[in-house]
A = this chain, B = another copy of it.
């Protein structure tokens, strides 16, 4: 199949590109390189086609659909916190961009879309682990609002124009090439001050983490092995890891011996942060996919890998 990966130069996208090529697919990448990086893809040389473009440029997106069998739509603003200060970021880079992808697919006759949604669509769910049919869906971040808005656009294109869709609600995805998130932040803080690690909130925020290659493998497995009009899955591991535990693991992996952990207090890292999120991955497992790492394993592997990538010395 000829796959178009939007955000294919990004953290998750570039791993997906690796695995799609390994699986024998043809791959085109659409990325504006705002957070994606060319060096995440450079090892593929001419084996992939890279389109530098912005999803807000409808004509560019239309042109990219030529000959495509399936779109893996991963491009989005990667920084959930940004939505609290620039309030139209997620509306544009999430919702409007996804509209452009769908409209271009409709016009170009592309019938399959796999979408990177998120556990944040559940908001502060009262059921944990949270199953896919949980309701009501009241996301509390602008990023989460956009993800739910995008899911709805996609299902409406299924219902109205006959698309086939895979909706993947990601846990926190961590791993090599990470460019943001709590582990990444902690490593940068330790680089700046090897004796003190400031943690936003009380450290009791607790979420499911999934290793990025597990995540990319799951996407390929499920788009290959499920075939409903709308296929929807939580992608995550069976357990959670607290921010407190992540801080300890990062410090352990750093080899630093004299680090004090300072908590800023409060039950969440920032307005719109969900204090606790745990996905029920039963449907994913029932469809035949199991992760290599649990949450703590994914965090530890990521801490180790990112420290090698970033280095601990300023």
Contacts and interface: CB of A to CB of B under 8 A. Distances in A.
Of listed A103, A106, A152, residue having the most chain B CB within 10 A = A152
Interface string A141-173: 110111011011101111111000000000000
Nearest to A106: B87
Given A121-B152, A145-B155, 14 more contacts: A84-B160, A87-B106, A91-B95, A91-B96, A123-B159, A139-B159, A140-B156, A141-B160, A144-B156, A145-B156, A146-B152, A149-B149, A149-B152, A160-B272
A98 to B, nearest CB: 10
Interface in A63-99: 83-84, 87-88, 91, 95-96, 99
25 contacts: A87-B99, A87-B106, A91-B96, A91-B99, A91-B153, A95-B95, A95-B149, A121-B152, A132-B135, A135-B135, A135-B136, A136-B232, A138-B232, A139-B156, A139-B159, A140-B156, A140-B158, A140-B160, A142-B153, A145-B155, A146-B152, A148-B148, A148-B152, A149-B149, A159-B271
Contacts of A159: 123-124, 138-141, 271-272
A133 interface: yes
A137 interface: yes
Contacts of A271: 159-161
Of listed A121, A159, A161, residue having the most chain B CB within 10 A = A159
A88 B132 CA distance: 28
A136 B133 contact: yes
A87 B106 CA distance: 10
Interface of A: 83-84, 87-88, 91, 95-96, 99, 103, 106, 121, 123-124, 132-142, 144-146, 148-149, 151-153, 155-161, 230, 232, 271-272
Q: Chain A contact residues: over half helix, strand or loop, or mixed?
A: helix
A152 B144 contact: yes
A138 B167 CA distance: 11
A153 B160 contact: no
Contacts of A140: 155-156, 158-160
Given A95-B91, A149-B149, A156 B135 contact: no
A73 B157 CA distance: 25
Nearest to A155: B138
A136 B99 CA distance: 21
Contacts of A141: 156, 159-160
A237 to B, nearest CB: 21
A16 B103 CA distance: 36
Nearest to A147: B152
A103 B87 contact: yes
Contacts of A145: 149, 152-153, 155-156
Nearest to A58: B88
Contacts of A134: 135
A217 B138 CA distance: 25
A35 to B, nearest CB: 21
Contacts of A106: 87
